[in-house]
Amino acid sequence: MSFALFQRPGTVVFLDDDPDYLEMLALVLPRHWHLKLFLRPHDCINYLQQEPPFWEADAWNQQQLVEHWREGKPLIPQLLGYWSKYTERYALTRVCVVDYSMPAMDGLQTLGELVDWPGSRVLLTGQADEQVAVNAFNRGLIDQFIAKQTPDISHRLIDAVENLMAAPNPRHSQIWRATLTPQQNALLRVPSIGRDLTDFVSKRWVEHVVIGDPFGVLGMDADGQVSWLQLEPVSGLEDLAVLAQAEGLGAAAADIRNGRKLVDLELRQALAHGAPPELNPAFTIGREENLLGALFPVPPELCPDTANSYGRWLARQEHRNVQG
């Protein structure tokens, strides 16, 4: 799996005609997931069919950030504003898990009604339904299927959903790839770099965006704390050292040239922030040793209100009740 240029939490929907099974899921699935649990196919369909206009509006908002950047407006302050304003982005459903065997309408019929809904689809099957699920997967109707009789089904479900949530969204990737140079894009496609970046962001943030100007990853954790992972190709260290010297950081130039430290001059410039530049230890990303990274905090006064963080948003949502 390649590194996702854009990632954020979202809602996970479950549809099953067994209320006891849904109640069990409500208890055992991770507390950091936002769940919606449905007993009736039509309720689930009606819920998800309302989402496509909101997906479209969100994609348009992101595209506008890139268009404004092309007109000369820095990306990082725009992203901080986007995170501050559009808090209901977390409500959009990323994954829908549907039981195949239901009396009124089977799982595939249900998913077939969701023509314009762009999320990932998982089918839960019984033993007798496995060939149906294989055929559906091969036809691209579902992204994954899991047999309900699988031992430790809850762990299988958690792994499946988290993998789908972490997978790059093609439309979002297209929007943000437009900010990258061909060289930056090529670096991010290197498998070892992608693995290292995926591991780095998964341990620190719930939401991130990769941009090319400046080159790096802006990320936010569940508590609303924002930081910047500056990415610096080894080939660019000399230019960064020269820039640091021009800013009066001549003593640090040797550390920058040798790849021991990076300086956040581009971040400060993008934020129009007058605080002194910060130098932080650099580390290698990927086995090829041609890309370095360093982590810098974004000044708290420039970050979104923590009341709008994912953790606070999740705490405001209704209890995990079965719908219907």
Domain boundaries defined on the chain: 6-51+92-168, 179-307
What are the tens digits of pLDDT across the range 246-299? 988 888 899 999 999 999 999 999 999 888 899 999 999 999 999 999 999 999
Tell me the two tokens of residue 292.
């370095």
- What confidence tier does 130 reach under pLDDT thresholds 50, 70, 90? confident
Q: Which residue has the tokens 């962001």?
A: 201
The residues that bridge with 18 in the sheet, in sequence order, are: none
- Can you spell out the DSSP letters for 95-150? EEEEES--SSS-HHHHHHT-SS--SEEEEEE-GGGHHHHHHHHHTTS-SEEEETTS
pTM of full prediction above 0.85:
yes
Are 133 and 100 spatial neighbours (Cβ–Cβ below 8 Å)?
yes
pLDDT > 80? residue 148: yes
What are the tens digits of pLDDT across the range 48-60? 999 999 999 999 9
Between the alpha carbon of residue 227 and those of residues 29, 162, 218, 254, 296, the distances in Å are 29, 23, 6, 25, 6
Query: Cα–Cα distance between 73 and 78 in angstroms, integer?
Result: 8
Look at residue 128 in the predicted model and tell me its pLDDT. Answer: 65
Query: What proportions of the chain, in percent to the nearest 5, are helix, strand and coil?
Result: 50, 20, 30
What are the tens digits of pLDDT across the range 163-203? 999 998 999 999 999 999 999 999 999 999 999 999 999 99
Provide the percentage of residues in the chain whose pLDDT is more than 70. 99
Look at residue 149 in the predicted model and tell me its pLDDT. Answer: 84
In CATH, the number for domain 6-51+92-168 is 3.40.50.2300
